[in-house]
Structure 1
Amino acid sequence: MLSYRHAFHAGNFADVLKHSVLSLVLDYMTRKEKGFCYIDSHSGAGMYQLAEEYAQKTGEYKDGIAKIINDDHAPEALAPYLSLINRLNLSPDSEASSELKVYPGSPGIAKAFVRRQDSSHLFELHPTDIKHLEDFCQRWRKVFVKQSDGYKGVLGLLPPPSRRGVVLIDPPYELKEDYQKAVKTIIKAYAKFSTGTYILWYPVVKRELVEEMQQAFTASAVKNVLQVEFCMTADTDEYGMTGTGLFIVNPPWQLTTQLEEILPYMKTKLGSNDSHYSLKQLIAE
């Protein structure tokens, strides 16, 4: 369909969860000198201008990243993520800006962490976003951008030569089939590269679709799956996203403890009395 534009949603509560986890995973990967491969199946534009029409039309970032960016009492687990956003928004005199101007997509997060010995592979189909992504990546070493199917792209790159890798699958879910297609891609990828770290983002729109994803994982050969979820409101049959979640295969060992800090903080700062979160080991190691 290719009608989805993440620019409308950049920096919202779902991005806070997804990108804080991605930051922690990538930070962990850089603790070893050996290089790793980062693969992003649905990359988007790379960087978003919050003053532009798309972001201003919805203003979702105002109820997301804007509420926590200058909080001196944010948990330590959010430090890699928040420090990155602050660096991107430095004013010319190298002081943190009181007004958010830009927000990174997942490629923008990855670019801040990858090193000379690491490689990045970014896939995007949208004709407008691919142009923005290519512009964003012009001065990025060892990055490969392709306007092609990210699901197939992921499978074609595994296992990476370094045998170390992080795969983010973050589809727009314009089609109902994406829920199962995303899970099946990880199951196939795991069969080729069982030691990689896989992050699968999903929206909570209809609870039964999330339950079907859980069932597909538990019926597979995939091991060590952590599931985290943050919901702004209770599940509903009405149209719209009430929450966000991630399935993380082979998470860093300390990620559960870090999420135990992040989730209650998100509820306090971004949510309400109706908000709730969950964190569980869906499949044991």
Structure 2
Amino acid sequence: MRTSHIAFLSAFIPALLAPALGAAMLFTTSQARADGSDRTLLATFCASANIKGSTCTRAKSYPGGGGRACDVKLTKERYVGRFLAAGNALLAVNYESECEPHATDFGGVALFEQNGTATRFIRFLPGAQGHDCIVVPKDEQQDVLVCTVGHMGQGIVESAVARMEFSKKSGKRIEIAPDFLLRAEDAVSAYGSNVVMCNEGPKYFGLANLAAGPRRNTVTVDVDYADDATIRTACGEGFPKPKELYHDLLPGEAFVPPGSEKTKRFTIDLVTGKAAPTE
């Protein structure tokens, strides 16, 4: 997967299990604080005259703006948790901006610090947005943000489940980087069919419905994939070919047309990074 083209922070979404009651309490609290007023959030980096609904038409100090009037439109994807071992809760809000190109999926993350009722703007992180995230307790002091991230280029949809790593750099700057746990690639729009290598193991095509796992430090996700049996069929007698194909097979490749893949719920261990079908 081309990480330079991945929308890093697929989404910042709240909360989960610690035991079950603790999970429910964390989710409720996270949602309540994360759903803060758009105008209150925008006012931390935008003059009041430039606030129009959920949009700032001229964000202050937008990175790489080059003197342009860069707009920032806050979305409803916003997630809060203690993502650093020390310090206050952090609120990550996805935004859209006409100053961002396709490579950053036309937006990023506006990062805030929450201390009681006060909210302080920290910085913009272009390209750091993701979608359908969950916040899970790492331990008693720290949370982990896990997201599905993805990007489409030339008809190929790349997706992944990623643990978003928050870290403090020199000058107290906070950075976010994805640690990819499970990756998938769907080539149907580009080739008319997914393609597998006959001498390689299972291949993942799509990911959906990220949720809390059955144990602490685990998450689950639905995976569309070709297992060993599917690959043996594709590379042996083969599947019926789709009516339209746009890819000439290379040596060792085989088609797995839409509908021939399998779908299972997988559990991902956030400590080991291992993923396996949920029993």
TM-score range, shorter chain: under 0.3
TM-score when scaled to structure 2? 0.27
Larger Rg: 2
Greater share of residues in strand: 2
Q: TM-score, normalised by structure 1?
A: 0.27
Greater share of residues in helix: 1
The structure, 1 or 2, with the larger RCO (C-alpha pairs under 8 Å, 6+ apart) is 1
